[in-house]
């Protein structure tokens, strides 16, 4: 070419103009095109790298379907609280970013294999908007119940869930030939009602280890060789995955994160997990199975979950349905005193394996020291030195000796950040287990939501013996919600419960939860249990409209309506 | 106390004197005492930290037994070539050290659980001396064969190998009650002859996945429900572990490392694995099962193994017996060209999972580019830029475009460091598979050793299609060795073999190995195959004394004594 302004330079200018105008990057400029079925992972990596380099504000996706494979994805060893740790592949690694938005513009993001969609790490002012998340092969599997006897159950497994029966064991996989085949191990069986779109009435979890003895009957029919299974023909056995490897959105050590207008059809862990972060806003997020597929459940663990988070945590106008665990849980972490090495030195343990690697204790930090069985705080030691031994054990040196009464099994937790929690306008229904677990000591407001939960709709938990979750609300309002025929499942005996791990011998002296006001709710109920609470200081139940229904058979009509032992300042007005 | 020189100060002075005299630290000063059964892991961590701080030359152990548990051990995610990657606990983490020695003074180091004994990382002038390594619970398991039929085999399992039959499956574990129980998964069955102390005559590996169907017969007797097993009553079925998680000594990115007078009774991976290191000396190292225990085999993988190592690699006066894989293998790594992105840009893959994370390519490095099926080098591209995508894929930019003939499936390897390998005075016997794999392009001398190997005694390998191991000797002397009735097993058809992965269509034009001289050896043989070599330039077999024995029945008397197609300059003198 003879032009003094070569064609390639012109292209560059145009490209810069299109791609960078207003600090907005278009993913198609990096090679990701909708609906072409090609792996868009490297294009996103390149786009995110470029966004960091130039400080772009936004990455947009022309509407369509995008595919993401793990092969070329970013990799990091992640400890994700209440999920499985591991060396993970991540499609959207947003790390060390400030003021950045992903706008899917209504696109569908389809993930393949063990690939985590989003990680937001050490970042501020991040937004995810306007897309759906689904997987080509789900982490759980499903089978339609054909018949159930005392010795076995026959199911029919849709083609969406490749499997084989090998060595007399049912194995789910991705359908590829060996050795490329990836297994999708399961360890739970739970019955769902596909018509009512919820866990089957009074269905319970069957733990199956990793070995499900089975016989292949041909024609995608399999006989599960397990005695005393219960199930109704036509219902669905859901096989829950063994571990929670693949969360949809992991937010770690970040602040001001917004997730809006996002639909999570599926992932292999929690939907949104926030840890050691603050100011998290989840609005119009829909956790639901995709339409028009042989899929009964949505995601395979809690819809959302927040650990050691501060500032505001807001769930607004969300739908959380048919996931295989609770809608949310907002709590801290206790470390267990494993050994008193010296008066001012203790080895502490992250005692639950799903909390391994959750380093939250810093030099100079003031902690609370609680009696393990009572959950009563008896000192506020200040940390002088932190020596991480490994993901499980840390050696702490304190500024002053610990009290003489300290004992192995007592616990320490952070007290410097509690989330102000708002749950408003959400619908929670059909999922396994409970609705919401309120365990933050910040102001907690639950209003205008609809609950149709298999277990307890609202639970106050916390313990230093099993889950090691710090809890104990101090200011909690539950108002103007609709509770619609909850407690049709096995996870709880009343609509609203305390199940904190406080040894009964210590309950008279413990007031772990404070100031709970349950007012002006509409409660449609077939099950009589309303409140089952203990160790609460200040409990009001008033202005609520109770409407009896016969939505389900009574499974325990003798459950008292209100149980409030070891509580003070209780006001219950029916 | 009224003394102007307080007692505590006196203690400090004495302590410093004892502990630090001559830069020598005594581990007992850090709380590790022999024979007390307590966990010495933290004491060793403290001693190593102190040694780094003060530049101590030596850590000594008063003679006795020391116990090491994983609980409080150092932790690191390790990629160990030809072994399993993972987040590992390490008892002796020697990282970033110079001139340091561990002297066990004849002590026994007993490890518990999944704990790696030694890692030498990024260090120089390190020595390990005078100790034994064993495990309270081995990573493999064993059972005495009682009877074998066409449909099953009955075995009796010694108490050293806790197990249970659950869901119709045989599971080995550590004998603890649940949930503290740790599983020891196995995936291989191989028969050993405990009287001859070797793999049973013509025994072959049975891959069993992770699921061994079985029936508990009581009295520690178990029926293996597998058809067509072969085995002789009185012999031992060894159950090999599923993965190689726990090597005894891992040497990474280090130089001048000496391991002397060390006995490895057991570990759950390779005995000594060196990667990206130089000048490694292994002397009087004994890999052997412990005496006076119900233990037939020693360690569960190769006795030693060296990958991309340079300088000298010396194995001298060692005993390598009854381990579950070869005595050594010294080779490089090929990365596979996975995608040609642009003329000077390629995505390369560490194609074998056991090589994931083996980052060896640096900016500015000259590599060899080889044709995958032929293993012929056709270019020497220089690396301009390295972008690690994840443990498997790396994007390489070269200074010049790659040749037009480059194709997916071709491979790249380092050419800047080949070990000068000496194997002298060693005894190799009774182990599974082969003796030694000679795959270094540096001067290689094998002399004065005794071989009694089930498979091929000396193998020349290398391929860019399965193991992706760079090989091809250039100067190799094999002299004055005793080969004593080798080839009684299934791993090879001649005493000395080439099995390089060169497509037969390309062999006429490939001379992958060069200058192999096999002289003055004594070869006691019952099996006729001596040499089965191809693609060698310069092969001498002379001055060797051949003595026929009838140590074993003939399993293939028709094997030719010498096969040397596609070789040049061959001189064979019987």
Residue A384 forms part of a structural domain = yes
Q: Which residues contact A208 (CB under 8 A, 6 or more apart)?
A: A186, A187, A188, A189, A226
Q: What distances in angstroms separate CA B386 from CA B179, B253, B361, B382, B411, one per listed residue?
A: 45, 19, 7, 11, 16
Please say which residue of B197, B213, B241 terminates a domain. B241
Q: Distance (Å, rounded) from C-alpha A458 to C-alpha A437?
A: 6
Estimate the share of chain A in helix, then strand, then coil, as percent rounded to the nearest 5: 10, 45, 45
Are residue A127 and residue A195 in the same domain, yes or no?
A: no
CA A71 from centroid of its chain's CA atoms: 26
**A49 φ/ψ angles, rounded to the nearest 5 degrees:** -60, -45
pLDDT score recorded for residue B292: 86
**B46 φ/ψ angles, rounded to the nearest 5 degrees:** -65, -40
Q: Which residues contact A114 (CB under 8 A, 6 or more apart)?
A: A70, A88, A89, A182, A245, A246, A268
List, for residues B105-131, the tens digit of each pLDDT value. 999 999 999 999 999 999 999 999 999
Both tokens of residue A337? 């005193």
Average pLDDT value for chain B: 95
A20 CB neighbour count, 10 Å cutoff: 16
pLDDT score recorded for residue B208: 86
- Contact of A412 with A308, CB cutoff 8 Å: no
Q: Which residue has the tokens 């032992």?
A: A565
Of the candidates B87, B166, B213, which has its C-beta nearest A168's C-beta? B213
Are residue A50 and residue A127 in the same domain, yes or no?
A: yes
List, for residues B187-199, the tens digit of each pLDDT value. 999 999 999 999 9
B55 pLDDT more than 70: yes
Residues of B in contact with A72 (CB under 8 A): 347, 389-390, 393
Q: Is A392 close to B211, i.e. CB distance below 8 A?
A: no
Provide, rounded to the nearest whole percent, the portion of chain B with pLDDT above 90.
Answer: 93
Residue B5 forms part of a structural domain = no
Structure-derived torsion over alpha carbons of residues A218, A224, A229, A231, reported in degrees to the nearest 10: -30
pLDDT score recorded for residue B2: 41
Residue among B295, B168, B316 nearest B239 (CA): B295
For residue A135, give the 3-state DSSP assignment.
strand
Q: Which residues contact A278 (CB under 8 A, 6 or more apart)?
A: A255, A256, A309, A310, A311, A312, A417, A419
User: What 8-state DSSP symbol labels residue A423?
Assistant: E
Radius of gyration of chain B (CA): 25
**What is the per-residue DSSP string for B351-381?**
-SGGGTT-----TT-BEEEE-TTT--EEE--
For residue B309, give the 3-state DSSP assignment.
coil
B19 pLDDT more than 60: no
Please give the tally of structural domains in chain B: 4
CA angle A239, A245, A249 (to 5 degrees): 110
Residues of A in contact with B77 (CB under 8 A): 77, 87
Are residue A557 and residue A494 in the same domain, yes or no?
A: yes
Q: Distance (Å, rounded) from C-alpha A323 to C-alpha A331?
A: 20
Q: Which residue has the tokens 């791609």?
A: A19
Both tokens of residue B57? 């030359």
- Contact of B114 with B89, CB cutoff 8 Å: yes
Please say which residue of A376, A392, A414 terminates a domain. A414
Of the candidates A73, A87, A89, which has its C-beta nearest B77's C-beta? A87
CA distance B390 to chain A (A): 5
Are residue A505 and residue A535 in the same domain, yes or no?
A: yes
For residue A63, give the 3-state DSSP assignment.
coil
CA distance B411 to chain A (A): 19
CATH code where residue A384 lies: 2.40.10.170
**What is the per-residue DSSP string for B198-219?**
EEPTT---EE-TT--BEEEEET
Are residue B122 and residue B232 in the same domain, yes or no?
A: no
CA distance B74 to chain A (A): 6
Q: Which residue has the tokens 């002299």?
A: B479
CA distance B247 to chain A (A): 19
CA angle B10, B14, B18 (to 5 degrees): 170
Q: Which residue has the tokens 């791990």?
A: A501
Are residue A513 and residue A441 in the same domain, yes or no?
A: yes
Bridge partners (DSSP) listed for residue B274: B251, B306
Of the candidates A72, A213, A389, which has its C-beta nearest B168's C-beta? A213
pLDDT score recorded for residue B4: 43
Of the candidates B75, B166, B209, which has its C-beta nearest A390's C-beta? B75
B59 CB neighbour count, 10 Å cutoff: 23
CA A304 from centroid of its chain's CA atoms: 4
Residues of B in contact with A91 (CB under 8 A): none
For residue B428, give the 3-state DSSP assignment.
strand
CA distance B166 to chain A (A): 9
Q: Which residues contact A194 (CB under 8 A, 6 or more apart)?
A: A234, A235, A236, A296
Residue B111 forms part of a structural domain = yes
Please say which residue of A414, A443, A468 terminates a domain. A414
Residue A5 forms part of a structural domain = no
Residues of chain A with pLDDT under 70: 1-22
Q: Is B211 close to A166, i.e. CB distance below 8 A?
A: yes
For residue A54, give the 3-state DSSP assignment.
helix
Provide, rounded to the nearest whole percent, the portion of chain A with pLDDT above 90.
Answer: 93
pLDDT score recorded for residue B92: 98
Q: Is B89 close to A390, i.e. CB distance below 8 A?
A: yes
CA distance B197 to chain A (A): 32
> B68, B75, B180, B396: best mutation site toward chain A, by most A Cβ within 10 Å?
B75
Residues of A in contact with B348 (CB under 8 A): none
Are residue B375 and residue B447 in the same domain, yes or no?
A: no
Residue A70 forms part of a structural domain = yes
Sign of the dihedral through C-alpha A73, A77, A80, A82: positive
Q: Is A390 close to B72, i.e. CB distance below 8 A?
A: yes
Q: How confident is the model at residue B10 (pLDDT cuts 50, 70, 90)?
A: very low
pLDDT score recorded for residue B17: 47
Q: What distances in angstroms separate CA B285 from CA A322, B199, B273, one per listed residue?
A: 60, 22, 13
Residue among A374, A278, A384, A391 nearest A335 (CA): A391
Residues of B with CB under 8 A from a CB of A: 42, 45, 71-75, 77, 85, 87, 89, 166-169, 209, 211, 213, 347, 389-393
CA angle A424, A425, A426 (to 5 degrees): 95
B303 pLDDT more than 50: yes
Q: What distances in angstroms separate CA B451 from CA A48, A557, B264, B550, one per listed residue?
A: 57, 79, 19, 17
Residues of A in contact with B211 (CB under 8 A): 166-167, 169, 211
Q: Distance (Å, rounded) from C-alpha B72 to C-alpha B43?
A: 10
Q: Which domain holds residue A95?
A: 20-137+245-321
Q: Distance (Å, rounded) from C-alpha B555 to C-alpha B558?
A: 9
User: What 8-state DSSP symbol labels residue A167?
Assistant: T
Q: Which residue has the tokens 């581990």?
A: B27
Half-sphere exposure of B35 (CA within 13 A, CB side): 4
Q: Which residues contact A9 (CB under 8 A, 6 or more apart)?
A: none
How much is the ipTM here? 0.92
Residue among A165, A114, A160 nearest A141 (CA): A160
Q: Is A211 close to B209, i.e. CB distance below 8 A?
A: no
Residues of B in contact with A71 (CB under 8 A): 392-393
Are residue A64 and residue A131 in the same domain, yes or no?
A: yes
pLDDT score recorded for residue A167: 83
Q: Which residue has the tokens 């005492």?
A: B33
Estimate the share of chain B in helix, then strand, then coil, as percent rounded to the nearest 5: 10, 45, 45
For residue B131, give the 3-state DSSP assignment.
strand
Of the candidates B71, B87, B211, which has its C-beta nearest A167's C-beta? B211
pLDDT score recorded for residue A4: 43
Q: Distance (Å, rounded) from C-alpha B307 to C-alpha B541?
A: 28
Residue B100 forms part of a structural domain = yes
Residues of A in contact with B72 (CB under 8 A): 347, 389-390, 393
pLDDT score recorded for residue B167: 83
**B252 φ/ψ angles, rounded to the nearest 5 degrees:** -125, 125
Are residue B114 and residue B256 in the same domain, yes or no?
A: yes
CATH code where residue A42 lies: 2.160.20
Residue A133 forms part of a structural domain = yes
**B23 φ/ψ angles, rounded to the nearest 5 degrees:** 70, 20
Are residue B422 and residue B554 in the same domain, yes or no?
A: yes
pLDDT score recorded for residue A574: 82
CA B126 from centroid of its chain's CA atoms: 20
Of the candidates B87, B209, B391, which has its C-beta nearest A167's C-beta? B209
Are residue A529 and residue A506 in the same domain, yes or no?
A: yes
Residues of B in contact with A167 (CB under 8 A): 169, 209, 211, 213
Q: What distances in angstroms separate CA A195 from CA A192, A199, A234, A420, B217, one per listed residue?
A: 9, 10, 9, 37, 47
For residue B515, give the 3-state DSSP assignment.
strand
Alpha helices (runs of H) in A21-147, residue ranges in sequence order: 41-54
User: What 8-state DSSP symbol labels residue B246?
Assistant: B
Of the candidates B71, B72, B390, which has its C-beta nearest A75's C-beta? B390
**B161 φ/ψ angles, rounded to the nearest 5 degrees:** -120, 80
Residue B119 forms part of a structural domain = yes
pLDDT score recorded for residue B214: 95
Beta strand residue intervals within A96-246, DSSP E: 98-111, 115-121, 124-135, 141-148, 153-156, 163-166, 169-172, 186-193, 198-199, 206-207, 214-218, 221-224, 236-241
Q: Is B390 close to A167, i.e. CB distance below 8 A?
A: no
List, for residues B201-237, the tens digit of each pLDDT value. 999 999 987 789 999 999 999 999 999 999 999 999 9
Are residue B274 and residue B288 in the same domain, yes or no?
A: yes
> B168, B214, B347: best mutation site toward chain A, by most A Cβ within 10 Å?
B168
B134 pLDDT more than 50: yes
Q: Is A347 close to B72, i.e. CB distance below 8 A?
A: yes
């Amino acid at each position: 070419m003879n032009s003094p302004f070569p064609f390639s330079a012109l292209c560059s200018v145009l490209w810069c103009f299109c791609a960078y105008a207003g600090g907005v990057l278009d993913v198609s400029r990096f090679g990701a095109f909708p609906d072409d079925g090609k792996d868009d992972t490297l294009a996103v990596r390149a786009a995110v790298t470029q966004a960091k380099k130039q400080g772009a504000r936004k990455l947009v996706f022309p509407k369509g379907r995008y595919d993401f494979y793990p092969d070329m994805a970013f990799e990091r060893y992640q400890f994700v609280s209440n999920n499985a740790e591991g060396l993970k592949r991540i499609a959207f690694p947003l790390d060390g970013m400030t003021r950045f938005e992903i706008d899917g513009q209504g696109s569908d993001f389809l993930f393949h294999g063990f690939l985590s969609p989003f990680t937001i790490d050490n970042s501020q002012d991040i937004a995810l908007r306007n897309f759906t998340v689904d997987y080509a092969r789900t982490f759980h599997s499903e089978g339609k119940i054909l018949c159930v006897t005392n010795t076995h159950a026959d199911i029919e497994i849709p083609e969406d869930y490749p499997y084989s029966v090998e060595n007399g064991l049912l194995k789910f996989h991705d359908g590829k030939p060996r050795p490329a085949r990836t297994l999708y191990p399961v360890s739970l069986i739970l019955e769902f009602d596909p018509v009512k779109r919820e866990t089957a009435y009074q269905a319970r979890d069957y733990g199956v280890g990793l070995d499900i003895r089975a016989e292949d009957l041909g024609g995608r029919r399999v006989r599960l060789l397990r005695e005393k299974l219960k199930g109704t023909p036509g219902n669905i056995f859901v096989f829950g995955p063994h571990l929670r490897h693949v969360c949809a959105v992991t937010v770690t050590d970040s602040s001001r994160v917004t997730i809006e207008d996002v639909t999570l059809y599926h992932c292999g862990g929690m939907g949104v997990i926030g840890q050691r972060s603050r100011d998290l806003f989840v609005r119009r997020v829909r956790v639901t199975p995709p339409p028009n597929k042989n899929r009964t459940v949505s995601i395979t663990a809690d819809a959302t979950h927040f650990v050691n988070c501060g500032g505001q945590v807001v769930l607004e106008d969300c739908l959380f349905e048919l996931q295989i665990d609770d809608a949310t849980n907002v709590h801290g972490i206790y470390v267990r005193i494993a050994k008193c090495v010296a008066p001012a030195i203790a080895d502490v343990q992250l005692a639950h394996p799903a909390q391994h690697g959750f380093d939250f204790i810093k030099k100079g930090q003031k902690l609370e020291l609680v009696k393990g069985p009572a959950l009563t705080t008896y000192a506020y030691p200040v940390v002088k030195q932190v020596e991480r031994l490994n993901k499980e054990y840390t050696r702490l040196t304190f500024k002053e000796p610990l009290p003489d009464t300290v004992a192995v099994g007592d616990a320490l937790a952070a007290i410097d950040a509690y989330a102000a929690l708002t749950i408003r306008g959400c619908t929670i229904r059909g999922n396994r287990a409970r609705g919401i677990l309120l365990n933050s000591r910040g102001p907690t407001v639950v209003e205008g939501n609809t609950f149709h939960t298999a277990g307890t709709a609202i639970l106050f938990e916390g313990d230093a013996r099993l889950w090691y979750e710090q809890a104990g609300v101090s200011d909690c309002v539950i108002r103007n919600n609709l509770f619609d025929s909850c407690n049709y499942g096995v996870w709880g005996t009343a609509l609203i419960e305390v199940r904190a791990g406080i040894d009964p011998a210590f309950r008279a002296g413990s007031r772990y939860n404070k100031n709970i006001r349950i007012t002006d709710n509409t409660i449609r109920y077939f099950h009589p249990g309303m409140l089952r609470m203990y160790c609460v200081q200040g409990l009001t139940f008033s202005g609520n409209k109770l409407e009896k229904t016969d939505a389900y058979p009574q499974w325990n009509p003798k459950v008292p309506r209100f149980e409030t032992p070891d509580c003070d300042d209780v006001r219950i007005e029916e």
